[in-house]
Amino acid sequence: MRFLDHFTAPKPVIGMVHLLPLPGSPNWGGSLEAVLARAVADARAWEAGGADGLMVENFGDVPFLPGTVEPHTVAAMTLAVRAVCEAVELPVGVNVLRNDARAALAIATVTGARFIRVNVHTGAMLTDQGILQGLAHETMRLRRALGSSVCVLADVLVKHAVPLGPLTLEEAARDTFHRGQADGLIVSGSGTGQATSLADVQAVKRAVPGAPVLVGSGVNEANAAALLTVADGVIVGSSVKGDGVAQNPVAPERVSALMQVIRGLRGH
């Protein structure tokens, strides 16, 4: 199934479910039940506000491991993703930070989630975790081996990172989609909550006209309409959290205000 076929509405809005720190991370609070309760509450707030999908992410596990995460992280995320899938009727995605695509794919496959996000799918990026190298060859072979239909969304020159060598946004987009065989591309700003350049979204759409392109950061009431005139969807987090802070719970009134703008763009 193509990625956009998972959604009933055009230009889908995917809301972030930022998990609280998980077992083994420096800021772990000691209660997995609290983690699951917060995840379900945020998911239900997104659904009640009219979002089209969700993305579950181990956002609280800073500082992030650069590659393979620990088995207990996979176990905890599997419980969280399954709890979210059971709590709402929306398509759910998984992102295992900082770049464990194999874990994300495994979690999604066994829980019924529909898609994953991979920060570095092809190429190599210099990040705050060091050098992250894309492992598209492993991820796509694992998907085939599992017989999985989970879609792979891949960032193009991901946020909080810079490429190791000269590489244009357009070149990275073409490599990620054609050679890495990602099912969709994500374009973001420089960091979490930072605005995504409309010009960057336009450049990626021109470079890979056949690819679904989503905006991955900085979407809010003020810029959503302009971004969605070009992008095929948006992933939203910080702007709908309490006080606009990514670590806070989802604020239902902020979701409703954003979705009112989106419904206006859709014509209903």
Q: How many whole angstroms separate alpha carbon 213 and alpha carbon 209?
A: 9
pLDDT of amino acid 1: 73
DSSP state of 179: I
Report DSSP letters for 139-168, one per residue.
HHHHHHHHT---EEEEESS-SSEEESS---
Q: Is residue 4 part of a domain?
A: no
CATH code assigned at 52: 3.20.20.70
Q: What are phi and psi of 85, to 5 degrees?
A: -60, -35
Our count of domains for the chain comes to 1
| 96 Cβ neighbours under 8 A, 6+ residues apart | 57, 58, 69, 73, 74, 77, 103, 104, 107, 116
For residue 190, the model assigns a pLDDT of 84
Contact between 84 and 43 (Cβ < 8 Å)? yes
Where do the H-state alpha helices sit in 70-229?
71-87, 101-111, 136-146, 169-174, 198-207, 224-228
pLDDT along the chain (268 residues), means of 10: 93 97 98 98 96 98 97 98 98 98 98 98 96 97 98 95 93 98 95 90 97 96 94 95 92 94 80
Give a yes or no: residue 231 inside a domain.
Answer: yes
Quote the CA–CA distance of 116 and 22 in Å, as a whole number.
Answer: 19
pLDDT of residue 268: 56
Q: Quick check: 19 and 83 in contact, CB under 8 A?
A: no
d(CA 240, CA 259) in angstroms, rounded, equals: 10
Question: What whole-number distance in Å separates Cα of residue 229 and Cα of residue 243?
Answer: 27
pTM above 0.85, yes or no: yes
Asked whether residue 1 is domain-assigned, the answer is no
Query: What's the pLDDT score for residue 212?
Result: 98
Asked whether residue 61 is domain-assigned, the answer is yes
- Number of residues that this document lists for the chain: 268
Please work out, in degrees rounded to the nearest 5, the angle formed at the alpha carbon of residue 40 by the alpha carbons of 52 and 86.
75
Q: What is the pLDDT of residue 31?
A: 98
Q: What is the crossing angle of helices 32-49 and 252-266, to 10°? A: 40
Q: Are the C-beta atoms of 51 and 8 separated by less than 8 Å?
A: no
- Other Cβ atoms less than 10 A from the Cβ of 162: the count is 11
Check if the beta carbon of residue 15 is closer than 8 Å to that of residue 255.
yes
Domain-embedded: residue 2: no
For residue 156, being part of any structural domain is answered with yes
Residue among 134, 142, 140, 83 nearest 113 (CA): 83
Let me know if residue 60 belongs to a domain: yes
Q: Is residue 5 a part of any domain in this protein? A: no
Task: Name the residue range of residue 133's domain.
Answer: 10-266
The pLDDT value recorded for residue 106 is 98
Within 13 Å of residue 262, how many CA atoms lie on the same side as its CB? 27
Least Cα distance to 130 among 160, 165, 173 occurs for: 160
Q: In what order do the strands lie in the sheet with 124-127?
A: 130-133, 124-127, 161-163
